[in-house]
Structures are given as C-alpha cells and as structure tokens.
Amino acid sequence: MNFHGKTIVITGTSSGIGAETARLLRQQGARVIGVDRNDPMITLDGFVKADLSEQSTIDAAVKQLPERIDALCNVAGVPGTAPVDLVARVNFLGLRHLCQRVLERIPEGGSIVNISSILGAEWPQRLDIHKALGETPTYEAGLAFLAKHPVPQETCYQYFKEALIVWTLTQSQKWFLAKGVRMNCVAPGPVLTPILGDFVQMLGQERVQKDAHRMKRPALADEVAPVIAFLCSDASRWVSGINLPVDGGLASTYL
C-alpha cells in the first residue's frame, strides 16, 4: 500500500489501535493528523486536541483540520464502564457528526473507516430502532431520540456499536453513489490496549472465561491497524458498506 500524497485524519491517536494505525500509515507515506483529548505519544504530522463528546468541540476541531482529507479513521471510543451518555456521545453521535462535517472535504475515491466491535454482532435483533436513531438528522435530534429511548448501562457499549454498524451500512451507499466516498467498519475482538481491563469489568469474569477458549489470545493493536489501512487505500476502492471482523476467528465460533 502506498499513501504518498495522502492526508489521513485519525481519532484516538494517543494510544492503542489509533496510535498503531497512525504509525503504520506514516511509514507508508501518509501525512497523518491526529485528533484526541490526550496528547500524542508518537510522532504525527499534525495534532488537534479535542473532546469528541461535544458537538461544539467537534466543530471547533474540524476548523483546524486540512481542507482536503483523503481518509478519516474513527478509532476513538470509550468503554461501557463510562456513563451511558458519554458512550452515546463519543461512540456514536460524535463520530457520526464528525463524519458529516468532514465529508465535504473528502474527494472522490476517499474513505471513512469506523471502528465497531465484535460486541456489535447482535445488531439484527434491534435493527429497526438502530435505523431510527441513525436517521435522526442532527446531533441534537439524536440526543432527543435517546432521551425518549433510554439505553441500559450494562449493555450500552454493545448497543452503540450495533448502532454504528447499522448507520455505517445504511449510510455508506448513499455517500458512495453521491460523492464516491466509501465507508466501512472494522470490528475487532479483544485487543491488548489500555482499556482492555474496562472490557473485562464490563462483561464480567464469567463471560470472559466462557469466551477464553474461543480464541488463541487477544489481538495486538498492530494486528488491527493494517486492516484499517487497507480500507483507507486504493486497493479497497470497490469495498464499501461492510463490517469486517478482525478477531482471530472469534465470531465464527458462535455459528
């Protein structure tokens, strides 16, 4: 893959998958602009410090981004141990708002990659309500919808990853046909990142132990990054509207 001359914006570049994706893309020649609430720990070509949970701070961050963006990678996220409202804002509403704002700067042939999760696999069970949330036209309308349809704390992470998958799949073809911009999801299983412990707490030891035999080990962040890079590249120019598992085969064990 060759990213020379490409400008790529990555959220969540201060650790984990975001940092490894930024490192890889820079090695492949990309100009990488990071966005995170925490300062980066790696070399970047530009950095915007921003809280991605608020519409106003997202709008302010977008004003600092380049006029041309060849790809947007939405890696930033919070675990289900965070308050429901924060999970909703960062993992879905803020991510969607950033995509909507940046879309006009992405040229034909560009790409958006959203990080979902293997925990979003049960989206077909709640398809109608996820579609209804995805069809809310604005950030504020999304908040109003969620106020009328509250989400339980114990399942909020799964819920909003499901919603992200449904929105990505239903919105992707509209943008691909109208603007030539592709949008896809990457769905990691467990990954050795700083928030892995939060997921163990969120799911509970019983669920974690039950699933442990289904995989060799958790992924390393640099095993997920190349898949994100592929979906940013011209090599995937005819791939749009998919949710691609990167889980060491974990999803296949539920069949």
Q: What is the DSSP code string of 164-226? A: HHHHHHHHHHHHHHHH--EEEEEEE-SB-STTHHHHHHHH-HHHHHHHHTTSSSPBPHHHHHH
Write out pLDDT tens, residues 185-235. 999 999 988 766 766 667 676 776 777 778 888 999 999 999 999 999 999
pLDDT at site 211: 74
Write out pLDDT tens, residues 12-30. 999 999 999 999 999 999 9
Please count the structural domains in the chain.
1
Q: Is 157 a catalytic residue?
A: yes
Write out pLDDT tens, residues 64-108. 999 999 999 999 999 999 999 999 999 999 999 999 999 999 999
User: Does an H or E element contain 8, and which?
Assistant: strand 7-11
Q: Which two tokens stand for residue 11?
A: 């959220």
Q: What is the pTM of this model?
A: 0.94
CA distance 140 to 145: 9
* Contact present, 31 and 68 (Cβ < 8 Å): no
CA distance 69 to 88: 26
CA distance 26 to 7: 10
pLDDT at 137 over 80: yes
Would strands 71-74 and 111-115 be described as parallel, antiparallel, or unpaired? parallel
Residue among 139, 157, 159, 254 flagged as catalytic: 157
Find the domain containing 211 and state its range: 7-245
pLDDT over 70 percentage in the chain: 96
pLDDT over 90 percentage in the chain: 87
* Contact present, 59 and 35 (Cβ < 8 Å): no
Q: What angle do CA 99, 100, 101 make, to 5 degrees?
A: 95
User: Per the domain annotation, does 75 fall within a domain?
Assistant: yes
User: Per the domain annotation, does 2 fall within a domain?
Assistant: no
User: Per the domain annotation, does 253 fall within a domain?
Assistant: no
User: Per the domain annotation, does 41 fall within a domain?
Assistant: yes
User: Per the domain annotation, does 114 fall within a domain?
Assistant: yes
CATH of the domain at 168: 3.40.50.720
User: Per the domain annotation, does 250 fall within a domain?
Assistant: no
CB atoms under 10 Å from CB of 145, counted, come to 16
Radius of gyration for the alpha carbons in the chain, expressed in angstroms and rounded:
17
